[in-house]
Structure 1
Amino acid sequence: MLLTPNQRAAYHQVFKMFTDETGIRIKTVARVDKKYKESVYQWLTGDGYSPDILNWHTSKRLFYFASRKAILPINEMLKDPEFVGEFKHVLSNVIYEGDLYAVPTSYYHWGFLYKKSLVNAKGKVPQHWDEFIALCKQLKAEGVTPIGIGTKNLWPVAAWFDYINLRTNGLEFHQQLLNGKISFFDPRVRQVFSTWKQMIDSQFFLSNSDELRWDQVLPLLYRDKVAFNLIGNFATSKILETEVEQIGFMPFPKINDIPRYEEAPMDAFMVSAKTNRVKESILFLKFIAREDIQSLLNNGLGYLSPNIHSKSQGDRFLQQGAKLLKESQGVSQYFDRDTVPEFDVQAMPILVNFLHHPDIDTVTRQLEITRIKVFKPTN
């Protein structure tokens, strides 16, 4: 078993329960984060040793190994209607070409952190896009920058592209686009950038976002300098104790009348193709998929369980996130996990540049050139 150090305590409790139930002992292999990621590729695609079961990211990063037959399909779990029902909203992130390759274990939600004193004073929290835009215009007129964002490390900008696309075109389109199967010249993509451009032209975003890291936006929320920040739930652990009651959470507003999909980066367990303990590995995956085990594990980790029947005991942000994700029709994994690294590393600066120079022809042309270079599509 491969683990990062910060997961160890919560997992060891679960491992002991598995051993007590089955008599099967689990030997763990710990690595620091960077070494962990390097080791996964080495173990699964190299000639040497590999752990039987590995903890990894879902979607494109999982499919990389599935396409190389470096991990085993576990289709017998798809024959269990209870398993399918409990994980139906996330299965698209672990099924590759019709085969199941991993069991989802943990994920976390994205959405808006907002300053209550600025937003609640204007009425109800916006649920629809026109309500959100109207509130942003009102805040801007009163001298408040509506949206804080820090793009010094580039990646926070991708949440805006992801969510506008999910709310406009849906999950399947979003996944196909980031996998190079749809042209960035498609009119549906232009609509995404048109929606985004209207916000940029209205100067809703921080003008110096490229000078700030993601966590440097939080103090601006405290001081009423910005009203909203689109960010993952990991940011709530950084909120000052004296400020936490002044910060609210809301989902990304509805744009089109389509099913609601959310951004929720997810981890899962997969089985190495090198294992000679297939029966024991499958038994463990069935164990880790259980509602009671996922509830216990994720309450210890401070994450959310993808099992829709699990129970969260976290703070109000986690409780809101749990409700949000259980009610979603599916989840994306975030831009960098839903595409290949070669595309991500080239596309991210293009998206950041659009935030400051919102020319739709330029951004779609640059992304299309990158798509053709990276994916070499036939269409």
Structure 2
Amino acid sequence: MKKILTLMLAVLVAGAVFAGGGQESGDDGTQELVINSYMSDQAPKEAFEALVADFEEKNPGISVTVNTTAHEQFKTLLPNWLTSRQAPDVVTWFAGYRMQAFAERGLLEPIGSAFPNNAFAAQFPDAFQKASSYDGDIYFLPQSWYWWAVYYNTEVFDRLNLNPPKTWEEFLQVSETLKQNNIAPIAIGAKDTWTAGGWFDYLNSAINGMDFHVDLTAGKVSYTDPRVVETFQTFADLNQRGYIMDNATSYSWQEAATLLFNGEAGMYLMGQFIKDVAPEDVKSKIDFFTFPSFGRSGYAVDTPIDGYMVPKNATNKEAAMKFMAYLATPEAQALFTVPLGRLAANKNVPVPNEDAQKGLDMVLGAEGAMQFYDRDAPEEMAAKGMNAILDAMQNPGDISEILANLDRERERIYR
């Protein structure tokens, strides 16, 4: 029987290495599989619980223990778990650079053995295989992916006769109308600094193009480049116009979402998971549109991929590999993604609903896809970059100095 352990931060910090250490087998021969998960919001947590229960039913010789940690604390503690001699058997994480950084350090176990006869390739698109691999080996099991877009309150838009804007000029006009009607045009829970990363991705790629943004996150472009300056100034301009909600840095992303849900804010640039925290009677009133165009012919989208890894120091790798093989199946992927309206990584799982189809169509129409700023750039660089974005928002007169400091960090980090 699974055991769900929700850990308080104080306990986690005091015993950061404790949340791991699976046992190979109990006295009755039952194997214990220990999973550390960041799925602490109610909807994904319940979906994951159902997934674990189904796995246990199909594998009666394995007992699963899930240690659930709040998302931001999880990211802080994960390196400690991976370097522990008693690491958990499975951890939730992100595809692409964030996974590859751990694989490069030798902290992950390749999971290819769970997929004989090229079974992994039969389940996942080429792009997902690349995002799940490092140096020729597969280290990541992709489960779900989602899109970022500008979510908006349809009741507010209908009442003010507003249409979803397609261009930046139209976006500013909509924002001004919302402001004149005492509605915060843009919600952002900037207490969670990663919310600024979405704005940076979309503004930089919309203004300067996908190729430029890729080069920037790869460390090939200076943050003092005039094109980056324009990106920062454009975001700061939104705040100067009074379009960004008051006291944004005091709100978590979920708290800011409440303003959108109750009509105190009109728009929110956020991932599809915003629907996870929306009340049931509000979900149908929240829709989304593609990020406005700055006149370029194409557009880019943020499409993060979430999934699982097996630590190199996992105790029960045999059970972990069984879990990886199970997670890859269409049935397991649908069990998790359908209730959440996510897109399954497995290419054989149908789109769950009209909302997801609209998101998929938006992604398929894009000229390029980004994982997310804090997944496409080194972790330290992204952390400093997101802080710089918010600093520029609050102190637009200091943008030149902010970017000069940020570029010095770029030179140090990428060197």
TM-score (norm 1): 0.77
What SS does structure 1 have at the residue aligned with 2:343?
coil
Q: For 2:69, give the aligned amino acid.
A: D
Matches within 5 A, 1:205-284: 205-221=244-260, 224-255=263-294, 257=296, 260-273=299-312
Q: 1:71 aligns with which of 108, 115, 119?
A: 108
**Is the 1:308–1:326 Cα contact (8 Å) retained in structure 2?**
no
Match of 1:31, SS? strand
Alpha carbons of structure 1 residues 39 and 118: separation in structure 2 relative to 1, 3 Å = closer
Alignment counterpart, residue 66 of structure 2, candidates 27, 30, 54: 30
Report the CA distance shift for 1:323/1:164 in structure 2 as closer, same or farther (over 3 A): same
Corresponding residue number in structure 2 for 1:305: 344
Give yes or no for contact 1:59–1:338 (8 Å, CA) kept in 2: yes
Deviation of 1:206 (Å): 2.3
Aligned to 2:403: 364
- Aligned equivalents of 1:143 and 1:8: distance in 2? 42
Q: Deviation string for 1:9-61 (max 9, x for gaps)?
A: 323314544x49xxxx5453422316966775455434x34455543222333
Q: 1:266 to 1:222 in 2, by over 3 A?
A: closer
Q: Is residue 232 of structure 2 the alignment partner of residue 167 of structure 1?
A: no
1:238-266 deviation line (CA, Å, top 9, x unaligned): 33445444332223234454654332443
Aligned-pair distance for 1:67? 0.7
Q: 1:140 touches 1:204 (CA, 8 Å); kept in 2?
A: yes
When the two structures are superposed, what TM-score results if normalisation uses the length of structure 2?
0.71
State how far apart, in whole Å, the 2-side matches of 1:280 and 1:217 are. 40
Inter-partner Cα distance in structure 2 for 1:84 and 1:134: 47
Shift of residue 3, structure 1, vs aligned partner: 4.2
Q: Which residue of 1 aligns with 2:27?
A: none
In the alignment, which residue of structure 1 is the partner of 2:11?
A: none
For the structure 1 residues 96 and 114, does the alpha-carbon distance in structure 2 shift closer, same or farther, using more than 3 Å as the test? same
Question: Are 1:162 and 1:334, in contact at CA under 8 Å, matched by a contact in 2?
Answer: yes
Closer, same or farther in 2 for the Cα pair 1:189/1:245, shift >3 Å?
A: same
Aligned length: 369
Runs of at least 5 residues in structure 2 that lack an aligned partner in the other structure: 1-32, 40-44
Report the Cα offset of residue 71 of structure 1. Answer: 2.2
Residue 261 and residue 281 in structure 1: after superposition, are their counterparts in 2 closer, same or farther (change >3 A)? farther
1:111/1:249 contact within 8 Å kept: yes
Q: Partner of 1:60 in structure 2?
A: 97
Are the aligned partners of 2:261 and 2:278 in contact in 1 as well (CA < 8 Å)?
no
User: In structure 1, what is the equivalent of residue 53 of structure 2?
Assistant: 12
Pairwise CA distance, 1:183: 2.0
Residue 63 of structure 1, CA deviation: 1.6
Change in CA separation of 1:312 and 1:11 when aligned onto 2, cut-off 3 Å: farther
Give, in whole Å, the separation in 2 of the partners of 1:219 and 1:38.
26
In the alignment, does 2:393 pair up with 1:355?
A: yes
User: 1:350 Cα shift?
Assistant: 2.1
Tell me the residue number matched to 2:25: none
What's the counterpart of residue 107 of structure 1? 145
- 5+ residue gaps, structure 1, are none
Q: Which amino acid aligns with 1:366?
A: N
Please identify, of 62-71 and 243-252, the stretch whose mean Cα deviation from structure 2 is larger.
243-252
AA at the equivalent of 1:71: L
Retained in 2: the 8 A contact 1:154–1:348? yes
Give the aligned residue type for 2:49: R
Seen in structure 2, the aligned counterparts of structure 1 residues 135 and 80 have a Cα distance that, compared at 3 Å, is: farther
Task: Name the SS for the 1:119 alignment partner.
Answer: helix
Contact 1:200-1:358 at 8 Å conserved across structures:
no
Q: Is the 8 A contact 1:78 1:100 kept in 2?
A: no
Does the 8 A contact of 2:341 with 2:355 survive in 1?
Answer: no
Distance (Å, rounded) in 2 between the aligned partners of 1:293 and 1:51 = 21
Secondary structure of 1:111 counterpart:
strand
What's the counterpart of residue 193 of structure 1? 232
Hey, what's the Cα distance between the residues in 2 that align with 1:43 and 1:84? 32
Q: Distance in 2 between matches of 1:97 and 1:327?
A: 30
1:156 matched residue in structure 2: 195
SS at match of 1:106: strand
Q: Secondary structure at the match of 2:396?
A: coil
Change (3 A) 1:149 1:66: same
- AA aligned opposite 1:188: R
- How many angstroms does 1:105 deviate by? 0.8
Q: Which moved more, 1:278-287 or 1:161-170?
A: 278-287
Shift of 1:66: 0.9
